[in-house]
Structure 1
Amino acid sequence: MYHPGELAVQQRTGLRERAGHTGRSIGDTIPPVAARFLTERRTLVVGAADGDGRLWATQLSGPAGFLRAADQRTLAVAAGPVPGDPLAAALARPAEVGTIALDPAGRRRMRLNGRSAPDGAGGLLISAAQVYANCPKHIRRRSPADSPARPPAATAADRLTLRQRLAVATADTFFVATAGPDGGVDASHRGGAPGFVEAAGPDELRWPEFAGNAMFMTLGNLELDDRAGLLLPDWETGGGLLLTGRARVDWSDPGAPSVQYRVERVVELTHATALTWTDEEVPAVRR
């Protein structure tokens, strides 16, 4: 069930037994409760590799019902990347993907990893290989709020601007895409008080790894492959900051690992979707 990288991290942290228990929740079909959850969602994070092998994470959005379990093993997505999205070309052909369907209002999420193919109508069909729910920990409560649609735009660079570094330093949420030894892609959520991600320079980020479900899919992948793609959504405008680069895990304290991330490419998308989110929580103070 687990690959060697995941097993190594579980062993290093002393959570191998717990991982074996939680791993029983991973299936390869979409159960009815998950199908209902997907139908109600309005956003899906997708991780994949571009034509040069660089990993990215992006966000697809639509009205409730744009995600649909076509059958027990297939997720239909009635949306695709906007022009300028680094995954637009990759998702226009069959690709290994990792996805997260997120419910910020109810603080719920589920992950579905597998292989996608274009549906011929601008969307995707994803064949499920791994399906499982995640706990609500570190999800900030938000409610959807539609805004007038605006033409999307994309800008690309090799380093973060000062404004982008400030956005990173005040973020409370990001998503990370990593890849396993079999080429399968995983997309995962990270959250914390604003400031939990440090923009140490124009091409360097750092963040702590908080305790989770003990499966260590992200850190297990990074144990064997340091490629990683990050998505920092702009909840207020429907845009997003997409990064691709390399990640190294600092295990000097096995009980509190941290990640150092080297940025190789930056794409900023503005007005990628008309779906925005209002913050329902009082900002936490980082100590």
Structure 2
Amino acid sequence: MPEQHSTFFSNLQYFALATTDSYGRPWATIVTGQPGQVVQALSKNTLAISTALPPGDPVGQCFETRKAILWAGLGVDFTNRRRNKVAGIVKYARANEGGKGELELRLETNESLGNCPKYITIRDLTNIQRTPQLITSQLNSSNILLTPDQKALINQASTVFLATRHFTDDTTISDMGLNHRGGSPGFVRTYNDSTSTYIILPDFSGNRFYQSLGNIQTDHYAGLVIPDFTTGDILHITGEAENLFDDEAESIMPRITLLTRIKITGLVHIKEGLNLRLNSPEQYSPYNPPIRYLTSELTLLNRPSSTPSNSARLTNINRISQNISTFTFTLEKPVTHLPGHFAIFDFSPHIHRTYAHMNEQTPQQVNDDFIRTWTISSAPPISSSSSSSKSEDSELTFGETTTLQCTIKHVALGAVTHFLHSLPAFLSSEIVLPFLGTGGDFSCFEMVDGKLSVPKKMVWIAAGVGITPFLAFYEALKKVKGIETDIVLLFAARGDESIVSDVFAPLGSGLVAINVRVFNSAAVEGGDSGEGDWRRTQKRRMTSVDIAEVPDVTDRVAYMCGPGGFMKDVAEWLAGAGVKGENIKKEEFAF
């Protein structure tokens, strides 16, 4: 070990550790203790570990039976994302003598490597003494099903540790590996078939060493330890592993061309088994890609797959403001959608991505597949659901269309939006790209007793380009005659973003009433302004008071769209104003 590695390990208060059981399967755990005590560097190639393990810890049991020969470890400083991994041979092990749960190890190191900080969650942790309770111990079973609590533990994880092995006839080159896998909570997915439970780990852009994946490719085993740093609960998993590539991977998890699938053959769940306490909110890595869902999950959500069966041609660009434009796409085949639904485009044929290990300026581009999901800002055409007169409202519905419009804001560091906003209008028709479909459940329209219907009273709340679904709502209301509703629109904008709201005006039908309030936090001139009694612009941010002052707010169905932080605040403001949870709707993408 380099001296900086041995010093690093010795200063840790937690350390991930892995070994194998008598079946050769890898198990992993997290040992804890005071800095300078839990891990000690006795020499440049010897580490000592002294700790106590909770009852049922599978790694402790591996050492207790004296079957463990190889080991691997990983040290992570969660305060600064520094990490180093190490592996070698077990020279001495004493575990759980007298049932005390103590673990004493002398470990010879023959591999040591520093790793990058990508995908590591920053967290502030303190050692505490918890009261562990063994919930489940299925050390070797071919029929393991996860409980709801275990699924929830997996879903909350932004950090897991992956243990792998490589055994050969030449024991001098056999070894183990233990690596960090991180992402946004939910990046690890699970599913069942008729007999087994599987863990799915999507592969994110890494250092191209492929040590863990290489071990799995040759030996077909892997283990995971999944901690909950809030509750102290911990889940240990081992099983049969395989790497799936290209079409086979995408058939399970769309947009992923390499993943690891682990069939669970061993599981240990220990409540409060981790003697660490989280002291402050976690800070997720800026490199984390969006959550990728399984095909089975997308099917249940009525979301399209990633297999293109249509194409879209960019046929028009309408500049609305300095940074916002409406792009019109003409599809090869017609589609159906409701106002407020989204469309999915694949720009990968037009944007080339080169490998970059790190990218400090735009970390999201490291894993970018250039597939984009945007709200459709145009409304579909009206059609008749029967052969009777189209003037009968009871027979009207939304029909097929080959024209979609998306109103998109230019993000300077966004690869796709920068590409689109840099296009000259006369070249737009040369852009043809795969179209993956439409989807969504965010719409104020529904069919009730054969009629298109909307709530009698609504409040639409948007921030920035989150105004787009309401453009579609409004356009559809202009097309569908006979619908009666009262709308209050609250729009939080910055600078010339407010121009987008200029399209909203009374429809003149006497049935649709609309009241527009624009909050421009970056207006540079003029004061508050109004247009009659239906529109008002104010030079400030939207607040909870503005929600509370909406007339009849508790009688309205609220629809909101905008950045995550904005929607979180608005949801709290609506609840504080007395709006029931079932009447609060927000736009969410899952693809």
**Does the alignment reach a TM-score above 0.5?**
yes
Shift of 1:151: 4.2
Q: Using structure 1 for the length normalisation, give the TM-score.
A: 0.82
* Correspondence list, 1:274-285, <5 A: 274-278=275-279, 279-281=281-283
- Matched residue, 2:114: 133
Q: Give 3-state SS (helix, strand or coil) of 2:215's partner.
A: helix
Most deviating of 50-59 and 68-77: 50-59
Q: Give 3-state SS (helix, strand or coil) of 1:248's partner.
A: strand
Question: Per-residue displacement from partner, 1:136-191 (whole Å, max 9, x unpaired)?
Answer: 10000001123343244352243211221122123211111111133411111100
Shift of 1:280: 3.1
- Matched residue, 1:251: 245
Q: Distance in 2 between matches of 1:212 and 1:146?
A: 31
- Matched residue, 1:103: 77
- Matched residue, 1:222: 216
Shift of 1:252: 1.3
Pair 245,154 (structure 1): closer, same or farther in 2 beyond 3 Å: same
Q: Which structure: larger Rg? A: 2
Say whether the 8 Å CA contact 1:79–1:124 is kept in structure 2. Answer: no
Task: Work out whether 1:33 is the aligned partner of 2:4.
Answer: yes
Q: Distance in 2 between matches of 1:103 and 1:178?
A: 22
Q: Distance in 2 between matches of 1:118 and 1:242?
A: 23
- Matched residue, 2:161: 175
Q: Distance in 1 between matches of 2:133 and 2:209?
A: 37
- Matched residue, 1:24: none
Correspondent of 2:178 among 158, 176, 187: 187
* Correspondence list, 1:72-91, <5 A: 72-91=44-63
- Matched residue, 1:196: 187
Shift of 1:275: 1.8
Question: Per-residue displacement from partner, 1:197-249 (whole Å, max 9, x unpaired)?
Answer: 11123711212111111111101001111111111011113331001111111
Task: Please give the root-mean-square deviation of Cα atoms over the aligned residues, in Å.
Answer: 2.3
Q: Distance in 2 between matches of 1:127 and 1:81?
A: 21
Q: Give 3-state SS (helix, strand or coil) of 2:124's partner.
A: strand
Code of the aligned partner of 1:165? K
Say whether the 8 Å CA contact 1:74–1:126 is kept in structure 2. Answer: yes
Q: Distance in 1 between matches of 2:89 and 2:219?
A: 19
Most deviating of 113-122 and 88-97: 113-122
Code of the aligned partner of 1:265? G
Q: Distance in 2 between matches of 1:154 and 1:88?
A: 16
Q: Give 3-state SS (helix, strand or coil) of 1:137's partner.
A: coil
Say whether the 8 Å CA contact 1:91–1:117 is kept in structure 2. Answer: no
Say whether the 8 Å CA contact 2:26–2:164 is kept in structure 1. Answer: yes
Q: Distance in 2 between matches of 1:56 and 1:196?
A: 21
Task: Work out whether 1:206 is the aligned partner of 2:185.
Answer: no
Say whether the 8 Å CA contact 2:63–2:93 is kept in structure 1. Answer: no
Correspondent of 1:116 among 90, 93, 97: 90
Pair 150,170 (structure 1): closer, same or farther in 2 beyond 3 Å: closer
- What are structure 1's unaligned runs of at least 5 residues? 1-29
Shift of 1:272: 2.3
Pair 151,261 (structure 1): closer, same or farther in 2 beyond 3 Å: closer
Pair 277,73 (structure 1): closer, same or farther in 2 beyond 3 Å: same
Say whether the 8 Å CA contact 1:243–1:266 is kept in structure 2. Answer: yes
- Matched residue, 1:163: 149
Shift of 1:64: 0.6
Say whether the 8 Å CA contact 2:190–2:199 is kept in structure 1. Answer: yes
Q: Give 3-state SS (helix, strand or coil) of 1:123's partner.
A: strand
Pair 86,59 (structure 1): closer, same or farther in 2 beyond 3 Å: same
- Matched residue, 1:56: 27
- What are structure 2's unaligned runs of at least 5 residues? 95-101, 139-143, 169-173, 250-255, 292-589
Most deviating of 78-87 and 60-69: 78-87
Q: Distance in 2 between matches of 1:232 and 1:281?
A: 18
- Matched residue, 2:126: 145
Shift of 1:119: 5.4
Q: Distance in 2 between matches of 1:237 and 1:176?
A: 21
Most deviating of 31-40 and 85-94: 85-94
Q: Give 3-state SS (helix, strand or coil) of 1:87's partner.
A: helix
Say whether the 8 Å CA contact 1:145–1:275 is kept in structure 2. Answer: yes
Code of the aligned partner of 2:122? R
Higher relative contact order structure (alpha carbons within 8 Å, sequence separation ≥ 6): 1
Say whether the 8 Å CA contact 1:160–1:266 is kept in structure 2. Answer: no
Q: Distance in 2 between matches of 1:122 and 1:49?
A: 16
Query: May I ask how many residue pairs the two structures share in their alignment?
Result: 258
Q: Distance in 2 between matches of 1:33 and 1:58?
A: 24
Code of the aligned partner of 1:270? K
Say whether the 8 Å CA contact 2:34–2:127 is kept in structure 1. Answer: no
Q: Distance in 2 between matches of 1:87 and 1:272?
A: 13
Pair 167,63 (structure 1): closer, same or farther in 2 beyond 3 Å: same
